[in-house]
A and B are shown apart, each in its own frame.
Chain A
Amino acid sequence: MSSKYILKSVVLPNGDKHDIAIEDGLISAVSQNITPTSHVVIDTNGSRVLPGLVDLHTHLREPGREDAETVLTGSRAGAKGGFTALSAMANTSPVADTAGVVEQVYRLGQDAGYLDVFPIGAVTKGLMGESLSEIGAMADSIARVRIFSDDGNCVFDPLLMRRALEYVKKFGGVIAQHAQDPRLTAGSQMNEGEISARLGLKGWPAVAEEAIIARDVLLVDHVKSRLHICHVTTAGGVEIIRWAKQRGIDVTAEVTPHHLLLTDELTTSYDPIFKVNPPLRTSDDVHALREALAEGVIDIVATDHAPHPVESKECEWQEASFGMLGLETALSIVQKTMVETQLMTWEQVADRMSLAPARIGGYKNQGQEIVVGSAANLVVIDPSKNWQVDRDLTMSKATNTPYHGLTLPGVITHTFYQGKATVIDSVVQKIGDV
């Protein structure tokens, strides 16, 4: 496999057009008309290059649910979607609440070799919300965990949340909260509103998210720690985060691609492909989220990639699992909802999908500016081409994408991870022995 490339006439995030040379895992040159010497030349004329995308919210399902996804298949899906780093959520089986499990996930990511897999550690043992997990051990392990989350569950006990926020200050960690009051959402199936009233599905009210966000920004202000809010879905949640940031509270927030595009109207078909937690909400929420992402009140896009086996989605709504795939379609959805609507520039996309997530996660080799000396983690996308989503052609082991049959803008042609081409001409490459 080659380790020297030249990307010819590619457009950088700021709009400048240059050649980029990649050698030995680094960007070796960014200038006009670089002369190739044993470089593989890629004619990317007109395409856009971004720093490799960094996902802070990925469910890789291994260990425990390898029927839905593995670290390997998830890595391949990530590469296809232009990602050079994923963050593996802790709700595996066994739960990632010890050094042993996070080191296993870390090693599986290394062995797969497509991108950096950063394991996220559980806040509480077994995600039960009762006592702290071995946060220190996970931070010290080979996986060097810095992000802790009980995602899937909310850290609901305010005292426990306070202790967790305080505890991670020792090493500059961050608690990533899944904001969902469990008492207000027991058995909830979809957003609470006109549509849930009509369809006879139990509602998940916006206040159940907003109330936890409000509580946690006040807590983190009090103990002077760092907070990250996973998958914000409500206009009200956005307002609370805006208020908190204005007061200087150290809070960051993410939005998923599906919450930038889809609404609860889709539930009228009762097709569980649209069942997700937190749920799809109204078009007012979608617009508030888009504006907040453009403004930077929401700092990053994170996929919440949630693979499920076919039988978990091919049933009645209330039996179905919550979750949608996201890695392979994320950048296209962001192009469609944010760039083509003129809400954001490509430079801002690079920030929301690479620079800012890397900064929040403390991922030093990721999210770097495209300059000489930076790690060669890059994605090349042709924004002028469209592609049709086909659930039978996903790199992911699972097929639960809500976009099957939809035509999306932006074709990713190349992904580079530490100077290795993981995707060439939109085809995921064979890396290592796999």
Chain B
Amino acid sequence: MKHLLSIADLNVQEAIGILDTATELSRINDGQIKKLPTLRGRTVVNLFAEDSTRTRISFEAAAKRLSADVINFSAKGSSISKGESLKDTAMTLQAMGADAVVIRHSASGAAQRLADNQWMSGAVINAGDGTHEHPSQALLDAFTIRKHLGKGSSDLQGLHVAIVGDILHSRVARSNVLLLALLGAKITLVAPPTLLPIGIEKWPCAVSYDFDSVLPYVDSVMMLRVQQERMTELFFPNAREYSRYYGLNAERMRTLKPAALIMHPGPMNRGLEISAEVADSARSVITEQVSNGVSVRMAILYVLLAGSSLDVGSI
């Protein structure tokens, strides 16, 4: 596996391999010395042409814990803001010798263009391309669900996950649908009709406009952020109406199964898609998702650059 551009590139063994590797690496992250020498002397470039704090820091921490050298390249401080093309940016980084590029970009397909055009020779890791995919997010979400509800199983057979919100514009939803289905989970997408793509009938999931009817049956509910811009783009009348029908509030939380998890990729709009009370409740694993993200991203870097899944005994 040379690149990680889309969940669709993974077969079930590879996906489970990354999750298992992340499980092993999370032991390092729980210890006092959070360091492995695996990627010493290798260079990982974070090419973030779109704003992000959480994902970039997560990948940076992951690379550094594997002893790689990290170079951060973000849109604001760079010549991307002066109009330099993706091609020229890539070729400049290549000239500096990057073994891997973690790219986040506002254009769907940007990661694939980087990989296919061979402007750089290293591994390309998609950290979110437009509204297409966010593979590492889906992997850390699956890791989180498996850790709590997997009952020792390697996959997610028998579990039911709801993903709620702006599916149409969500790369997190697209990657999650692919990965959860690959791992055997049942998925229900919940959204107003205006925020569901035409063509979704072919996706391996169910679709519902009615949040309340879905909630009592799921093992995990994943809330997606609703961008403020969607209101001016005529997707729904106003924030209040959106919250009323699709917001996860305390009343809805009480209809969940006792062991059900509450998840959110962040950043949250407290009060819009998720109430503060719910975000801070005992069932919420939202902050744990963030720390799992570092282990999962370490696993991705390990698998792509060290060439194999981590064995249990090798640490």
Q: Which A residues fall within an 8 A CB radius of B? A: 192-201, 203, 205, 269-271, 311, 314-319
Contacts and interface: CB of A to CB of B under 8 A. Distances in A.
Nearest to B49: A316
Given A311-B85, A315-B87, 15 more contacts: A192-B198, A193-B198, A195-B199, A196-B197, A196-B198, A199-B109, A200-B133, A200-B171, A201-B130, A201-B131, A203-B198, A270-B112, A314-B85, A317-B109, A317-B113
Interface string B108-145: 11101100110000000000011111000000000000
A192 B200 CA distance: 11
A271 B203 CA distance: 24
Nearest to A196: B199
A302 to B, nearest CB: 29
A268 to B, nearest CB: 9
Given A269-B112, A317-B109, A199 B132 contact: yes
A269 B108 contact: no
B199 A200 contact: no
29 contacts: A193-B198, A193-B199, A196-B197, A196-B198, A197-B200, A197-B202, A198-B174, A199-B109, A199-B132, A200-B108, A200-B129, A200-B131, A200-B132, A200-B174, A201-B109, A201-B130, A269-B112, A269-B116, A270-B112, A270-B113, A270-B116, A314-B87, A314-B117, A315-B113, A316-B105, A316-B107, A316-B113, A317-B108, A317-B109
B86 interface: yes
A311 B197 CA distance: 31
> Helix, strand, loop or mixed for chain B's interface?
mixed
B21 to A, nearest CB: 27
Contacts of A311: 85
Nearest 7 Cβ contacts at the A-B interface: A270-B109, A200-B132, A197-B199, A316-B107, A200-B131, A197-B197, A194-B199
Interface residues of B, number: 25
A203 B197 CA distance: 9
Contacts of A197: 197-200, 202-203
Contact of B108 (A199, A205, A271, A315): A199
Which of A196, A200, A271 is the most central at the interface, judged by chain B CB atoms within 10 Å of its CB?
Answer: A200
Nearest to B133: A200
Contacts of B199: 192-198
B169 to A, nearest CB: 8
Contacts of A314: 85, 87, 117
Given A199-B132, A200-B133, A318 B198 contact: no
Interface string B205-248: 00000000000000000000000000000000000000000000
Contacts of B113: 270-271, 315-317
Nearest to B200: A197
Interface string B275-298: 000000000000000000000000
Contacts of B116: 269-271
Interface of B: 85-87, 105, 107-110, 112-113, 116-117, 129-133, 171, 174, 197-200, 202-203
Given A311-B85, A315-B86, A205 B109 contact: no
A145 B204 CA distance: 55
Contacts of B129: 200
Contacts of A270: 108-109, 112-113, 116
Nearest to A201: B108
A38 B183 CA distance: 79
A318 B108 contact: yes
Contacts of B112: 269-270
A319 B108 CA distance: 10
A319 B200 contact: no
Contacts of A196: 197-199
Nearest to B177: A198
Contacts of A319: 107
A274 to B, nearest CB: 12
Contacts of A194: 199, 202
Contact of A318 (B85, B130, B174, B203): B130
Contact of A205 (B117, B131, B171, B198): B198
A194 B197 CA distance: 9
A314 B88 CA distance: 11
Given A200-B171, A205-B198, A270-B108, A315 B85 contact: yes
Nearest to A270: B109
Contacts of B198: 192-193, 196-197, 203, 205
A271 B113 CA distance: 7
Which of A194, A195, A269 is the most central at the interface, judged by chain B CB atoms within 10 Å of its CB?
Answer: A194
A198 B175 CA distance: 10
A200 to B, nearest CB: 3
Contacts of B108: 199-201, 270, 317-318
Contacts of A205: 198
Contacts of B174: 198, 200
Which of B87, B112, B203 is the most central at the interface, judged by chain A CB atoms within 10 Å of its CB?
Answer: B112
A134 to B, nearest CB: 37
A318 B108 CA distance: 8
B137 to A, nearest CB: 14
Nearest to A192: B198
